[in-house]
Structure 1
Amino acid sequence: MQLTEADLLAVERELCRRSLADFAKRAWVVLEPAAKLKWGWALDAICLHLEAVTEGRITRLLMNVPPGSMKSLLTGVIWPAWEWGPRGMPEMRFVGTAHEEQLAIRDSRRCRDLIKSEWYQRLWPVQLSADLDGKREFGNTRKGVRQARAFTSMTGVRGDRVILDDPISADNANSEAKLEAARIAFTETLPTRVNSDKSAIVVIMQRLNERDTSGVIKDMGLPYVHLCIPMRFDPTRKCSTSIGWEDPRTEEGELMFPERFSEEQVCELEKTLGSYGTAGQLQQNPSPRGGGILKTAWFRYWTTAVPPLEWTEVFVDTAQKDGEENDYCVLQLWGRSTAGQGVLLDQRREKWEAPDLVTNARAFWNKHKASAFNPRRMGVEDKVSGTGLIQTLRREGIPILGIPRDKDKVSRGHDAAPFIESGNVLLPADAPWLSDFLAEAEKFPNGAHDDQMDPMFDAIDAVQRRPSEKPATANPVPTVSHFARRVR
């Protein structure tokens, strides 16, 4: 029996209705007629999770995949056209947003071009509205709409599907202002842009910073299904999701998409991006394993007692506010050993308002002033709440050194790194806060907090620049020659 053209069209309609991946492979010819499609299991994974959104099994979806993985094309272009046509859902309203409005408009335009194409209209004759047919916004005669907006300017739009594609650019990944703007837009604006409790939010992005939108979702414990596909397989982070999908790879370092990214290409990308870019953009883990600027293996440790010291000093890092999103206040006691090493002796770390900061800084000073350590002075960053602390404690007779920080923290981290790498920073091996300290060092400068690093950088600067200064004390400083390199 020979199939008629109508039969062939019916078969194609049914194949596309059943599978977003099959629809995507056919739509590719319309969208990219001059390029050969390279398909892999990672694209199937993206399609399966988008299908689950269509079927109502997922209403919040976070997908972390490397750049160049067709994420924008599949999610922002092909998926809306699939719901309107093959799935018979032309009433669906889509809002597509990205860190730049032009990127959101690009995907909206391509979606419109696909729906208007001869191939699509022959199979699914969805009629577009004559009075709503622009690049930024278009609709159909069944009340379905596809809109494009910048992520931080979403006022006035609502959708049954809100697609957030790369909320922050790689260039702005370390900008405090951009990260905060993205956080506010995601937590305060985006949730109000959905039509109902059955509406879906889909976030698809590469990781760039621990405080990016993926980091916000993780830290807040939001109920997102998380599809994470690193370029190279990391068995310690093997991904599985609630729809029964799991990463099919078994060998460490196995590539995600060898059909698209060969071993040679990935090696070149890793070299070009460096450790930070590779960790975030390729591995979806925005801090290189073992540390970035600061490697955890570089630190050494003292046990039982400290090595012989020349002087000790308190270093303070203050936070502007005590809100949950703000950094901690940190009080650290450091010493300079007779061998020229920086030795961290004690630390307190809390979120304090200004009056409590003064109280606790005074108590920390008095505690150690009455001990054998007897610090010579207190170094405090001279800005914001630190300035008030300096003024208050100086009036009480505590010797205070105001520390101007005239470099950004990344530059200060690079300045301190060689000293740490040389094994010149000793940490207390048994301190209860040591794990948090090392985790923060490992993730610097992309971690959610860096408050423990700032006073350490001040202390290292003091140890290196003021080696001849002696502690203003007649009390002996405890000594011991036992210290060790800790294997972690």
Structure 2
Amino acid sequence: MRAISAERARREAERQRRDVEQNTEQVRTRCKTLAAFVEDPRHNRWRAPAAGAVIREAVEALKVIKGSYGYAGQYQQRPTAREGGLFKRQWFEGKIIPQAPPGTRWVRHWGLAATKKTTAARTAGVKLGKAPVGSFVVGHVVTTQDEGNAVRRLVKTTADMDGTGVMMSLPQDPGQAGKAPAKDYVSMLAGWTVKADPETGDKVTRAEPFSSQCEAATSYLVQGAWNEAYLDELCLLPGGAFKDQMYATSGAFGRLVGNRQSQTTTSTVKGLY
């Protein structure tokens, strides 16, 4: 009986081996796909394609046709290219500096949110400067997931840290209802030059002008603990969960280059504090 059972086991193992060989042979067929596989060299159907299985020229051509962002989403199942989406990591290599050049003109723009929900938009304040030579410097970034008075205190405390030489820039919700909160912030920041106006256009489109400056190697970051989180958010655009720091950067950039028309401005209104 033991001999019969051993023979049955041997036959079953042999049958399974033949099935695997047959399936593997079916996998090793020629195909003409956009991924440009000429022949699948795998001997194990569960292995990933070997490096030599893909024609490099065809893959590079796809990157040109689709763009790095489109290629990453379409062919690599990643919504953002490894090197970055709207912003690339390599653009900032060697661009982190210990301090900004003397004479840099500064604006801090705030993107204001009003919730503690961790998946919602955050409040972000980005201090962006334009150096005398025309380059741009991100000098400091602060974010918070808070609401109401806590946000107001952060704005005021950060303004005190920046000093009155830094212009404060704020968003203003459209319509009459948005004017009152903006004026409250302006009053709170008495002694600073404060400007507020409505935002137009989507966040990604507003980020493109600053993205162009970064790609042209004219933008720098002052070294700080916020650098990595800031770059992570930028390089995940437009597919990342958060866009708050980029939203604030775009607002500051627009203010510096003069393409924002202010609705409210003051440096003399008496504050609430």
Q: SS where residue 81 of structure 2 aligns?
A: coil
Question: Distance in 2 between the 1:307 and 1:457 partners?
Answer: 23
Equivalent position of 1:225 in the other structure: none
Say which structure, 1 or 2, has more relative contact order (CA 8 Å, 6+ apart).
Answer: 2
Q: CA distance change for structure 1 residues 305 and 265 in 2, over 3 Å: closer, same or farther?
A: closer
Contact 2:83 2:90 (8 Å CA) reproduced:
yes
1:454 to 223, 247, 261: 247
| AA of the residue aligned to 2:84 | G
Query: Does 2:226 match 1:433?
Result: yes
Q: Which residue, 290, 313, 332 being the options, matches 2:83?
A: 290
2:195 to 393, 401, 407: 401
* SS of residue paired to 2:244: coil
Aligned to 2:118: 324
Q: Is the 8 A contact 2:128 2:140 kept in 1?
A: yes
For 1:270 and 1:298, how far apart are their aligned partners in 2?
19
- Answer yes or no: is the 8 Å Cα contact 2:83–2:235 preserved in 1: yes
Asked if 1:376 corresponds to 2:167, the answer is yes
User: 1:424 Cα deviation (Å)?
Assistant: 2.9
Q: Which runs of 5+ in 2 are unaligned?
A: 1-10, 28-38, 260-265, 268-273
| Deviation at residue 437 of structure 1 after TM alignment | 1.1
In structure 1, the residue corresponding to 2:157 is in which secondary structure? helix
> Offset at 1:326?
1.9
Q: Which AA in structure 1 matches 2:195?
A: L
Shifted more, 315-324 versus 394-403: the winner is 394-403
Say whether the 8 Å CA contact 2:124–2:142 is kept in structure 1. Answer: yes
How far apart are 1:417 and its partner, in Å?
2.3
Q: Which residue of 1 aligns with 2:144?
A: 350
- The structure 2 residue matched to 1:392, chosen from 184, 195, 209, is 184
Q: Is the 2:169–2:195 Cα contact (8 Å) retained in structure 1?
A: yes
**Aligned with residue 313 of structure 1, among 85, 107, 124:** 107
1:279 alignment partner in structure 2: 72
Instruction: Summarize the Cα distance change of 1:356–1:42 in structure 2 as closer, same or farther, 3 Å threshold.
Output: farther
| Structure 2 Cα separation of the partners of residues 319 and 303 of structure 1 | 30
Distance 1:386 1:283, change over 3 A: farther
Compared with structure 1, are the counterparts of its residues 305 and 463 closer, same or farther at alpha carbon in structure 2 (3 Å cutoff)?
A: closer
Counting matched residue pairs gives 240
Distance in structure 2 (CA, Å) of the matches to 1:314 and 1:304: 17
Distance in structure 1 (CA, Å) of the matches to 2:42 and 2:172: 52
Mark the CA change 1:413 to 1:331 in structure 2 (over 3 Å): closer, same or farther.
closer
More moved, 357-366 vs 295-304 = 295-304
SS at match of 1:335: strand
Hey, what's the Cα distance between the residues in 2 that align with 1:285 and 1:383? 36
Distance in 2, Cα, partners of 1:351 & 1:447: 17
Is residue 334 from structure 1 mapped to residue 128 from structure 2 by the alignment?
A: yes
Verify: 1:302 aligned to 2:97, yes or no: yes
CA distances 1:85-119 after superposition (whole Å, capped 9, x unpaired): xxxxxxxxxxxxxxxxxxxxxxxxxxxxxxxxxxx
Alignment pair present for 1:270 and 2:270? no
- How far apart, CA to CA, are the structure 1 residues paired with 2:16 and 2:174? 64
1:411 correspondence with 2:205:
yes
Aligned partners of 2:100, 2:57: CA distance in 1, in Å?
51
Does structure 2 retain, via aligned residues, the 8 Å contact 1:382–1:402? no
- Compared CA separation, residues 377 and 413, structure 1 to 2 (3 A): closer
Q: Judging changes above 3 Å, is the alpha-carbon distance between structure 1 residues 387 and 289 closer, same or farther for their aligned structure 2 residues? A: farther
Q: Residue 85 of structure 1 aligns with which residue?
A: none
Q: Identity across aligned pairs (percent)?
A: 20
Across the aligned residues of Structure 1 and Structure 2, the Cα RMSD in angstroms comes to 4.1
Distance 2:205 2:252 in 1: 15
Write the deviation string for residues 241-268 of structure 1: whole angstroms up to 9, x where unpaired.
xxxxxxxx5xxxx25xx3xx54444333
